[in-house]
Amino acid sequence: MKDITRDTLAVTPRRSHARIVAGPAAEQMDFTVAPSRRADSLQVTEIARPKLQLVQSAATTVPHRRVRPIQPIVWTVAAFVLLVGAFLLDCGSGNEVSPSLFYVIGIGVAAWLVGQRTALVLAFLSTMAWAIAVRIVGPDFTKPSVFYWNLGAELAVYVTIAVSLARIRRGLLHERQLVERLDLARGALDRETQAVGDLQRVMLPPSLPAIRGYEWQVFYETSTRAGGDYYDFFTLPDGRIGVLLADASGHGAQATVLMAMMRALLHATRDALSPPDRVLGRLGRQIARIVPSGRFATACYAVLEPSSGGIEFSLAGHPPPLLLHGDDGALEELPQRGGPVIRSKMI
């Protein structure tokens, strides 16, 4: 990675407030610096502190009552009762054809509420019951072949109904099981993402730099429960304050991991966190050695000199900071100074 150039910004305090905003507005992560009423100091006002609260990721089991299902034996008995009722109705109706359709009711109950085997048994028994009813009350067929033809047609209809309803029932049960599994997996993933997001917020600065005459404005909100947005403050040995804004590529846990690695590298280094261009250059080389190919991050690192109000900053693929003048409300975009994004592999 080529060396990243740096640019120094001197902020002259005025009676009216001025503000410096760094970072893309879409990320809703910014910091501002504004001069206080004192002519020799700058004032930074805190907008909102991120709420850091670690939420237990384990699912809370809520007990609920389950309706006890009716035993299959009960539905089997009910199906046989319906078969007997259809047979009696068939015998009492004479040679009417329509009563033979009532056999379907018992077959449907068995196929839907018991199973395919029981439904097939009901289908064969219904066919035999129909044949017996025909022998008892008629009609008289001119040829035996006509009787056997009708007998086969009745059997085919009953078997088709039994198999079709049983398969539809199995398909619906399988689909319901898949939906329940997806809900469980979605809930587990949501809890894990929430836990990652809570851990990410814990890694943010627990407190803001305490400098006389300064207040810090911080607003932090990721687009999802966990992301790669990152900001940090560093107190340098000479009293200056380093401010970092970074955005790791992607969303969710993978972006959070890259953000955590950047934080670990910056906090574990023994080298000076100044000047900004060297800090970002060194961070880019370290990320390139340990992060999988295709991952990258943008960053803006600024060093504030509290006594003079000067700000020295450098960019790594990040949008340039914005300077908001408090006297006239004019918004000024600072020069684009810096190098490429911090990535694992140059493409």
Interatomic CA distance for residues 249 and 342, integer angstroms: 10
Write the CATH number for 28.
3.60.40.10
Q: Tell me if 58 is assigned to some domain.
A: no
Q: Tell me if 204 is assigned to some domain.
A: no
> Do 126 and 183 belong together in one domain?
yes
Interatomic CA distance for residues 291 and 255, integer angstroms: 11
**Would you say 277 and 218 are in contact if contact means Cβ atoms under 8 Å apart?**
no
- The pLDDT score that the predictor gives to residue 139 is 64
> Do 42 and 76 belong together in one domain?
no
Q: Tell me if 90 is assigned to some domain.
A: yes
Interatomic CA distance for residues 246 and 259, integer angstroms: 8
> Do 84 and 161 belong together in one domain?
yes
Burial 43-77 (b: 16+ CB within 10 A, else e): bbeeeeebeeeeeeeeeeeeeeeeeeeeeeeebbe
DSSP 167-184: HHHHHHHHHHHHHHHHHH
> Do 93 and 179 belong together in one domain?
yes
> Do 265 and 330 belong together in one domain?
yes
- Tell me the pLDDT tens digit for each residue of 106-162: 999 999 999 999 999 999 999 999 989 888 886 666 678 888 888 899 999 999 999
Closest CA to 311 of 278, 276, 263: 276
Q: Tell me if 309 is assigned to some domain.
A: yes
Interatomic CA distance for residues 259 and 115, integer angstroms: 55
- The pLDDT score that the predictor gives to residue 57 is 38
- The pLDDT score that the predictor gives to residue 334 is 81
> Do 131 and 40 belong together in one domain?
no
**Final residue belonging to a domain, choices 172, 190, 208:** 190
Interatomic CA distance for residues 23 and 204, integer angstroms: 16
Q: What is the mean pLDDT of the chain?
A: 76
Q: Residue 120: give the domain boundaries.
A: 72-190
Q: Tell me if 203 is assigned to some domain.
A: no
Q: What are phi and psi of 287, to 5 degrees?
A: -65, -40
**Would you say 318 and 245 are in contact if contact means Cβ atoms under 8 Å apart?**
yes
- The pLDDT score that the predictor gives to residue 91 is 86
- The pLDDT score that the predictor gives to residue 292 is 72
> Do 237 and 334 belong together in one domain?
yes
- The pLDDT score that the predictor gives to residue 339 is 62
User: How many domains would you assign to the chain?
Assistant: 2
| Omega before residue 276 within 30° of 0, cis | no
Six token digits for residue 74: 């009960």
Query: Is the torsion defined by CA of 291, 292, 293, 298 positive or negative?
Result: negative
- Tell me the pLDDT tens digit for each residue of 48-60: 333 333 333 344 4
Q: Tell me if 330 is assigned to some domain.
A: yes
> Do 180 and 225 belong together in one domain?
no
State whether residue 275 is helix, strand or coil.
Answer: coil
- Please state the pTM of the whole predicted model: 0.54
Q: Tell me if 281 is assigned to some domain.
A: yes
> Do 31 and 112 belong together in one domain?
no
Q: Tell me if 197 is assigned to some domain.
A: no
| Angle formed by the axes of helices 116-137 and 72-92, nearest 10° | 20
> Do 33 and 134 belong together in one domain?
no
> Do 137 and 181 belong together in one domain?
yes
Q: What residues of the chain score a pLDDT lower than 70?
A: 1-70, 94-97, 138-142, 223-224, 337-347
- Tell me the pLDDT tens digit for each residue of 298-307: 899 999 898 8
| Angle formed by the axes of helices 144-202 and 252-268, nearest 10° | 20
> Do 101 and 173 belong together in one domain?
yes
Q: What are phi and psi of 189, to 5 degrees?
A: -65, -40
CA 173 to chain centre: 26
Report the chain's C-alpha Rg in angstroms.
38
